[in-house]
Structure 1
Amino acid sequence: MLKFAIVILNWNGEALLERYLPSVVQYSPGRDIYVVDNASTDGSVSFMQRYYPQVKIIENPTNGGFAKGYNDALPQVDADVYCLLNSDVEVTEGWLEPVELLMEENREAAIVQPKILDLMNKDHFEYAGAAGGYLDMLGYPFCRGRIFQALEEDRGQYNDTREIFWATGACMFIRSEVYKALGGFDELYFAHQEEIDLCWRAQNEGLKVLYTGASEVYHLGGSTLSNMNPKKTFLNFRNSLYSITKNLPRRRAFPLILCRLLLDFVAALRFVFQLKIRHAWAILRAHLSYYRHFRAVYRKRKKKDYLKNYHVITSIVWSHFVHQVDNFNELVKD
């Protein structure tokens, strides 16, 4: 039997812990639960010590973001499988058993994601992960159940178990041996899309990322950075370029970076026309930061073969904004 541990990253999230930790404790009997505190300045630690003495606390000395926060803490967690869980996730009864069974029976399943539903609109998928993540040929991420801001209603259409490209960091199960072999998250990312990079690297090693609709959780979303925050725009655009540079062969990576330079410029112009000047500036800063860190990112590249086929469609931008496709099952597969 595999030993599972639930590991929740927290930064100044006392209110979130008070609201969502009870469901984790209630519906995860017999499993070790850890809260990793990223140098919070609120009452998070004292709250847990007072009301949840059964929860193990790991206190990081600084707030290194999502990537460094987990990298610093997970070596202290004794488990065969880590469940990396956001502090704004409400779990459901029986949420663990389908994932545990899947990973027990399928040794190739290195990373697994459950169904992610919207806590504020529980019959719809949630932005961060939905029913499993993918990339298009240009490296833009999207999900079954979520294309850009279009969220599908959950009608059971994704109640399957299947291979996906990336699993959300909001609720990700990963074998500890895989996490260690991959070197954990890339701390250059700080936050956002580091889970895409981790899943991409896992697949470049021949491992599988799976989704199961037999397990479901509810995610609040935007509790760290909302979609309207320019810092999130900056991190998403920059970190996407990081992942392309690291995980594709050079003959594909460099032409794609040039293409993204043009497309990201168009995205910035769109923000300007929408009078979202700070978001347009965030895209420019993302590219400047990428070029500044290019050598450090390039040195992280593998020295052997890369994953050949990683996309299910040519362009999610074209499908969504030109052909008005909002539903994953309406996408034209390559």
Structure 2
Amino acid sequence: MVDVSIIIVNYNTRDLLRNCIESILKNTIHINYEIIVVDNASKDDSIAMLKTEFKQVKLIESKVNGGFAYANNLGIKKSKGRYVFLLNSDTIILKDVLEKMIAYMDENKDIGLLGPKILNGDRTHQTSISAFPTFKREVYHIYKLKNVLKIPFVKSFFVRFGGKLGSKDLEQYMKNFQSIESPEKVQVLVGAALLIRKEVIDDIGMLDERYFMYYEEIDFCYQAHKAGWHRVYYPYGEIVHLIGQSSEKIGDITFYERYRSMILYFRKNYGRSKEILVRINLIIALILRVIGMSFIQIFKSSKIIKENRKVYIKTIMMAVNKKAIATNRY
């Protein structure tokens, strides 16, 4: 019997993928597992590398880049494990994390999803949990109000008293800055490394493929929550996630898709009235950014500012068009 099916979605990440698979083979010993790599129509040598170096890996070659949910579902359909482990290609498995997580899930049948502690490349803590989106949180995000947490005394205050202010989403968010030493129930687990009980998928279905990127794991956690499955953060297991470095230039597709997925999430889970509110909020915020950038361009010409402004305008047009959340294929 296969204990866990490890599903890795790849898109032009050959070297990262190699390191990820090598870490699995090195650090996963005492359980039966299969590795399924779903390639999202990569243009690098990922497929050739897999066929040459990792013949034991089950390879699914998608003809289109259908996004994270679409590709993971292809892997889930072929999986044979009691559990499914969704794993980003830019991750590194540490020690016996999978053995520990599966043992814990076997002992706690009411837990549907389990997420490990996620670390940056320098082994500092990375965001591992989150809260279900609310309109208020989206306002905080789009206007970058959470930047106040960069002020040390403000951050310390909310870390200490966030759970006592009556805001559940604030309490959940601030958990990322607290030292959680034992497994704890949370609302949302990050999809970079997510262990799912197969019965959950049988119960609520697979990931919603209308999300090209972003919000797919948030939506999945929400559907699991509605069905009564607990989501638990498991700090005894660690995985390194090598996310990209910050840049002044925003990603065209990633920015656009982040907010397209946001609109879809609110339409699906909270109805058209909340969807309209988040659309209006997004449009106003981005118009203000475009105006600000246009003003800066008068005094300081910048290619990055010009490109970012185009991305904002494109996203505004998406937010205005109520039909613009149809699934994309790249």
Bin of the TM-score, shorter chain as denominator length = 0.7 to 0.9
1:235 equivalent in alignment to 2:235? no
Q: Specify the alignment match of 1:22 in structure 2.
A: 22
Which structure would you say has the larger Rg? 2
Q: Match of 1:292, as an amino acid?
A: K
Q: Distance in 2 between matches of 1:106 and 1:163?
A: 12
Which of the numbers 310, 318, 328 marks the counterpart of 1:286? 318
Task: Label 1:35 to 1:241 Cα distance change in 2 as closer, same or farther (>3 A).
Answer: same
Q: Distance in 2 between matches of 1:64 and 1:109?
A: 29
Residues 160 and 212 in structure 1, CA contact (< 8 A), matched pair in contact too: yes
How far does residue 181 in structure 1 lie from its aligned partner after superposition?
A: 3.2
Structure 2: tracts of 5 or more residues without a match: 156-174, 294-304
Does the residue aligned with 2:190 lie in a helix, a strand or coil? Answer: coil
Deviations 1:291-321 (A, max 9, x none): 1057x89xxxxxxxxxxxxxxxxxxxxxxxx
How far does residue 131 in structure 1 lie from its aligned partner after superposition?
A: 2.9
| Greater displacement, 236-245 / 152-161 | 152-161
Does the residue aligned with 1:135 lie in a helix, a strand or coil? Answer: coil
Q: Specify the alignment match of 2:163 in structure 1.
A: none
Q: Distance in 2 between matches of 1:156 and 1:260?
A: 29
Q: Match of 2:132, as an amino acid?
A: L
Deviations 1:23-61 (A, max 9, x none): 122112242222122222322122122222222222223
| Greater displacement, 40-49 / 74-83 | 40-49
Residues 132 and 218 in structure 2, CA contact (< 8 A), matched pair in contact too: no
Task: Label 1:34 to 1:265 Cα distance change in 2 as closer, same or farther (>3 A).
Answer: same
Task: Label 1:267 to 1:34 Cα distance change in 2 as closer, same or farther (>3 A).
Answer: same
How far does residue 169 in structure 1 lie from its aligned partner after superposition?
A: 1.7
Task: Label 1:270 to 1:164 Cα distance change in 2 as closer, same or farther (>3 A).
Answer: farther
Coordinate RMSD, CA, aligned: 3.1
1:179 equivalent in alignment to 2:201? yes
Q: Match of 2:84, as an amino acid?
A: Y
Q: Distance in 1 between matches of 2:123 and 2:75?
A: 32
1:263 equivalent in alignment to 2:281? yes
Does the residue aligned with 2:188 lie in a helix, a strand or coil? Answer: coil
Q: Specify the alignment match of 1:310 in structure 2.
A: none
Counterparts of residues 161-310 of structure 1 (less than 5 Å):
161-222=183-244, 228-248=250-270, 253-272=271-290, 273-274=292-293, 275=305, 276-288=308-320, 291-292=322-323
Residues 279 and 320 in structure 2, CA contact (< 8 A), matched pair in contact too: no
Q: Specify the alignment match of 2:98 in structure 1.
A: 96
Residues 138 and 260 in structure 1, CA contact (< 8 A), matched pair in contact too: yes
Q: Specify the alignment match of 2:302 in structure 1.
A: none
Task: Label 1:148 to 1:169 Cα distance change in 2 as closer, same or farther (>3 A).
Answer: farther
1:9 equivalent in alignment to 2:40? no
Q: Which runs of 4+ in 1 moved over 3 A?
A: 139-143, 147-156
Q: Match of 2:187, as an amino acid?
A: F
Q: Which has the higher helix share?
A: 2
Q: Match of 1:73, as an amino acid?
A: G
Aligned residue pairs: how many?
282
